[in-house]
Chain A
Amino acid sequence: MMNTVSTIAIDVQAEPPWVLPSRGTVGMICLIVAEAAIFIIFFVSYVFYIGKSLTGPYPAQVLELPIFSTVCLLSSSFTVHFAVVALRRNSLRNCAIGLASTVLLGFLFLLSTAREWYHLIHDDGLTIRTNLFGSTFYSLVGLHATHVLIGLVMLCMALGISLAGRMKEAHSERLEVLSLYWHFVDGIWVAVFLVVYVIGR
């Protein structure tokens, strides 16, 4: 057997403990940066085309502040945070409650968006091909809604695992990584709200 000494002998006690960041968190941050880059381009398109539609309907005519959906989505960030904190403290029941509330609020958000779109398409005659406003609005809000949907699917899976009693305190870091994604989705919504419904109208 070969000599497997691989280092010069050193004083082990003098070395500080070797601690590295967690993989899940770093990976999720990378994903968030990449997704943010995609979203930013959709925002740029939206802003660039403000006022440039050749025909109506125009934002001021058809858009109303989505208060209900915003409240739902922003609260869901609190509930998912509550779930993570609960899991860290090993209160598994509270974790399940937090996750369930998040799923519910997220689902309400999607429902609210669907209602808004139904109204826009059928009553106002705004579709993605109507004009530049339609193209940029539906693509941006739709991209966001898709991300909400993906997040909801993941949260449902987490909820299922939690309800089956298989979620443990040791998983709290993974749940936190998922909650980072959810916070990101929430943050994008804040930007959409400001750019589309406040500034753009």
Chain B
Amino acid sequence: MADSTPVMEGLDQSLAVKRPRLEAIYEWITTVDHKKIGLMYIAYALIFLVVGGFEALLMRIQLAVPNNHFVSPQVFNRLFTMHGTTMVFFMGMPMLFGFANYLVPLMIGARDMAFPRLNAFSFWISAFGGLLLYFSYFGGSGLYGAGSAPDVGWFAYAPLTANVFSPGHSTDYWTLAVFLSGIGSIGTALNIVTTIICMRCKGMKMSRLPLLIWLYLVMSSMVFIAVGPLTAAQIMLTLDRYVGSHFFDTQAGGSAVLWMHYFWIFGHPEVYILVLPAFAFVNEIVPVFSRKAIFGYPAMVAASIAIGFISLSVWAHHMFTVGLGPAGNTFFVFATMVISVPTGIKIFNWLATIWGGDVHFAVPMMFCIGFLFQFLIAGLTGIMLSVAPFDWQLSASYFVVAHFHYVLVGAIVFALFGAFYYWYPKVTGRMMSEILGKWHFWLFLIGFHLTFDFMHVPGLLGMPRRIYTYEAGRGWEMWNLIVSVGAIFQVAGIACFVFNLVRSYFRGEIADHDPWDAWTLEWATSSPPPSYNFAIDPTVHSRRPLWDLKHPEDPDSDYE
């Protein structure tokens, strides 16, 4: 089957030319090629995954037993602030933008992104933001003190961030780092939207876009609308801290709740911005390993767009305890519950794709199966939290922490791992080790469930979040210990993963252009692709161009 697929081989075979190291480094630093930029984003995000994970590990050691003295309260407060900020802005966003950068032009048959130089600029400015955030450990108090990282929480509620409550510069490092990350995000999102709309190959109408492309289109559009409020709020915060304005200065009549609104108008769409690419990966991987087309393509597109829109209207479910009043609370309950409908549609469509298929349990598919179960649970705990009175008990407790980590780790990180194993052959020309992959999967799965299943319980037993220690006798001890033990398994899983990534690059089995027998355009070029992607601009007639080529007697174009 794979043999009969005509491949657009590189017109020149000069991929294996070795160059002096300095020249190679210079080339990477000055590149505007979407594939290289994509890989830089991903490498950068992997580094911060490890750093952020290390911060989490330290927190879990501190919380494993009550009244622990492993770290001081000041250090702990910085740890959770840095962990959250790092994972969202310097792991999640770069990782997902990295995959977009690499895959989007390939999947639509384009040569590069619409604005290659803007692409490079967006990467470097985001990268600088991350470095700035960690520089705060040295420069936070202005270098005359010991220096310290921000400790205001990743959502930096006012007026805790005002000068009087957060002296020194640690909060400013947070503000600037995230501000720069936001600029990079807007730049990349702009590139993605323009590329998708303006650079599709011939025949690729919008109704023939791979679902990954649709989801990145929706996600990038959301970035435009969501990042603006955060940027604006950060400008206002900086003005408050530096020129004495009063946006969030409650002593002058300013409003702390206003910051919350602005932050969550960004913050809620942000988490959908993070999860939509996870859906994108699953949409590509599950059909291939079920050997069936995705069930309900138009419904999936409609559901994705609906999720994008509705997510802009649910933000105050993070503020049910702020005293919005029954009318406000009721509205946001309704909007939040409504978003479960298109989300459920997606889950059912994935189920229907698998149903009647021929399921192969390769490592990418295993991670996607984990995603399906875990995202289902995460969505259901989300429904629980959307019930405002229930949220009055559980907001700002470990139940919420468990819920959102279930989405972020159980759904998004699992889908990301699946994506790594799936596209690694395309990027490097080698397969990742299946055995190491299975070790990675099982270790991480066990660790994930030990940590995040049991983390729900302390929340139900009254344990708030962001506390550096807790009293004995609240009934929280055993659960916290189990949660902390799970972290160790996750570390082991990640170690397997990183080892697999590196080892397979040198010793992995050589992969041909289409090792998974898949159907989208990126598999029609060599592994790795040449710098120009396709020797001849492709023309497509259906959603699965390679299926049509492999099954000329029964192409998709007959049915669409």
Answer yes or no: A and B touching, Cβ < 8 Å.
Answer: yes
A129–B193 CB distance below 8 A: no
Bound form: Cα–Cα A39–B114 in Å: 26
Encoded as 1 (CB less than 8 Å from any A CB) or 0, chain B from 235 to 269 comes to 11001000111110000111100100010010000
Bound form: Cα–Cα A161–B107 in Å: 38
A128–B524 CB distance below 8 A: no
Bound form: Cα–Cα A41–B114 in Å: 29
A6–B228 CB distance below 8 A: no
Interface residues on A, range: 35 or more
B236–A33 CB distance below 8 A: no
Question: What residues on B are CB-neighbors of A52 within 8 Å?
Answer: 253
Question: What residues on A are CB-neighbors of B225 within 8 Å?
Answer: 33-34, 37
Question: What residues on B are CB-neighbors of A33 within 8 Å?
Answer: 221, 224-225
A41–B232 CB distance below 8 A: yes
Encoded as 1 (CB less than 8 Å from any A CB) or 0, chain B from 530 to 554 comes to 0000011011110000001100100
Residue of A36, A37, A136 with highest tally of chain B CB at under 10 A: A37
Question: What residues on B are CB-neighbors of A129 within 8 Å?
Answer: 243-246
Tell me the minimal C-beta distance from A131 to chain B in angstroms.
7
Task: For A20, give the chain B residue with the smallest CB separation.
Answer: B198
Question: What residues on A are CB-neighbors of B232 within 8 Å?
Answer: 37-39, 41-42
A22–B193 CB distance below 8 A: no
Tell me the minimal C-beta distance from B559 to chain A in angstroms.
15
A128–B244 CB distance below 8 A: yes
Task: For A143, give the chain B residue with the smallest CB separation.
Answer: B235
Q: Is B197 an interface residue (CB 8 A)?
A: yes
A1-34 CB contacts (< 8 Å) to partner B: 2-8, 10, 15, 18, 20-23, 26-27, 30-31, 33-34
| Main DSSP-derived SS at the B contact region | helix
Question: What residues on A are CB-neighbors of B191 within 8 Å?
Answer: 27
Q: Is B53 an interface residue (CB 8 A)?
A: no
Question: What residues on A are CB-neighbors of B541 within 8 Å?
Answer: 7-8, 10
Q: Is B115 an interface residue (CB 8 A)?
A: yes
B194–A41 CB distance below 8 A: no
Q: Is A35 an interface residue (CB 8 A)?
A: yes
A4–B245 CB distance below 8 A: no
B6–A4 CB distance below 8 A: yes
Q: Is B229 an interface residue (CB 8 A)?
A: yes
A139–B186 CB distance below 8 A: no
The segment out of B27-35, B36-44, B199-207, B303-311 that lies at the interface is B199-207
Bound form: Cα–Cα A31–B191 in Å: 10
Question: What residues on B are CB-neighbors of A54 within 8 Å?
Answer: 252-253
Question: What residues on A are CB-neighbors of B202 within 8 Å?
Answer: 15, 18
Tell me the minimal C-beta distance from B5 to chain A in angstroms.
10
Task: For A2, give the chain B residue with the smallest CB separation.
Answer: B9
A37–B228 CB distance below 8 A: yes
Tell me the minimal C-beta distance from A139 to chain B in angstroms.
6
Task: For B228, give the chain A residue with the smallest CB separation.
Answer: A37
Q: Is A118 an interface residue (CB 8 A)?
A: no
Bound form: Cα–Cα A54–B221 in Å: 39
Q: Is A96 an interface residue (CB 8 A)?
A: no
Tell me the minimal C-beta distance from A26 to chain B in angstroms.
5
Question: What residues on B are CB-neighbors of A20 within 8 Å?
Answer: 197-200
Bound form: Cα–Cα A40–B232 in Å: 9
Task: For B7, give the chain A residue with the smallest CB separation.
Answer: A2
Question: What residues on B are CB-neighbors of A45 within 8 Å?
Answer: 236, 247, 258
B167-193 CB contacts (< 8 Å) to partner A: 186, 189-191, 193
Q: Is B227 an interface residue (CB 8 A)?
A: yes
B224–A139 CB distance below 8 A: no
Q: Is B8 an interface residue (CB 8 A)?
A: yes
Given A4-B9, A7-B539, A27-B114, A128–B224 Cβ distance below 8 Å?
no
B231–A23 CB distance below 8 A: no
Bound form: Cα–Cα A22–B255 in Å: 44
B91-117 CB contacts (< 8 Å) to partner A: 114-115
A34–B228 CB distance below 8 A: yes
Task: For B227, give the chain A residue with the smallest CB separation.
Answer: A34
Q: Is B278 an interface residue (CB 8 A)?
A: no
A27–B194 CB distance below 8 A: yes
Bound form: Cα–Cα A35–B189 in Å: 13
B252–A23 CB distance below 8 A: no
Given A8-B541, A8-B555, A21-B197, A34–B548 Cβ distance below 8 Å?
no
Tell me the minimal C-beta distance from B349 to chain A in angstroms.
28
Given A4-B9, A6-B524, A128-B245, A35–B228 Cβ distance below 8 Å?
yes
Q: Is B233 an interface residue (CB 8 A)?
A: yes
Q: Is A68 an interface residue (CB 8 A)?
A: no
Of A8, A15, A132, which one neighbours B548 at CB under 8 angstroms?
A8
Question: What residues on B are CB-neighbors of A18 within 8 Å?
Answer: 202-203
A108-152 CB contacts (< 8 Å) to partner B: 128-129, 131-132, 134-136, 138-139, 143
A135–B197 CB distance below 8 A: no
B243–A6 CB distance below 8 A: no
Question: What residues on B are CB-neighbors of A27 within 8 Å?
Answer: 114-115, 190-191, 194
B262–A7 CB distance below 8 A: no
Question: What residues on A are CB-neighbors of B252 within 8 Å?
Answer: 54, 131-132
A48–B255 CB distance below 8 A: yes
A6–B190 CB distance below 8 A: no
A37–B538 CB distance below 8 A: no
Bound form: Cα–Cα A33–B227 in Å: 11
Residue of B200, B232, B247 with highest tally of chain A CB at under 10 A: B232
Given A4-B8, A34-B186, A139–B236 Cβ distance below 8 Å?
yes
Residue of A7, A31, A40, A131 with highest tally of chain B CB at under 10 A: A7
Of A4, A8, A41, A131, which one neighbours B233 at CB under 8 angstroms?
A41
Q: Is A53 an interface residue (CB 8 A)?
A: yes
Question: What residues on A are CB-neighbors of B538 within 8 Å?
Answer: 6-7
Given A3-B6, A132-B253, A26–B186 Cβ distance below 8 Å?
no
Of A2, A6, A23, which one neighbours B199 at CB under 8 angstroms?
A23
A4–B536 CB distance below 8 A: yes
Tell me the minimal C-beta distance from A69 to chain B in angstroms.
23
Task: For A142, give the chain B residue with the smallest CB separation.
Answer: B239
Binding site for B on A (CB under 8 A): 2-8, 10, 15, 18, 20-23, 26-27, 30-31, 33-42, 45, 48-49, 52-54, 128-129, 131-132, 134-136, 138-139, 143
| Sample of 7 more A-B contacts, CB < 8 Å, known A26-B114, A34-B225 | A6-B539, A8-B552, A18-B203, A27-B114, A38-B232, A41-B262, A128-B245
What are 23 inter-chain pairs, A to B, with CB distance below 8 A?
A: A6-B6, A6-B524, A7-B538, A7-B540, A8-B548, A21-B197, A26-B194, A33-B221, A34-B186, A34-B189, A36-B228, A37-B232, A41-B262, A42-B232, A49-B253, A52-B253, A128-B243, A131-B246, A132-B253, A132-B254, A135-B245, A138-B245, A143-B235
Per CB-CB distance, the 6 closest pairs between chain A and chain B, nearest first, are A37-B228, A129-B244, A41-B232, A135-B245, A38-B228, A34-B224
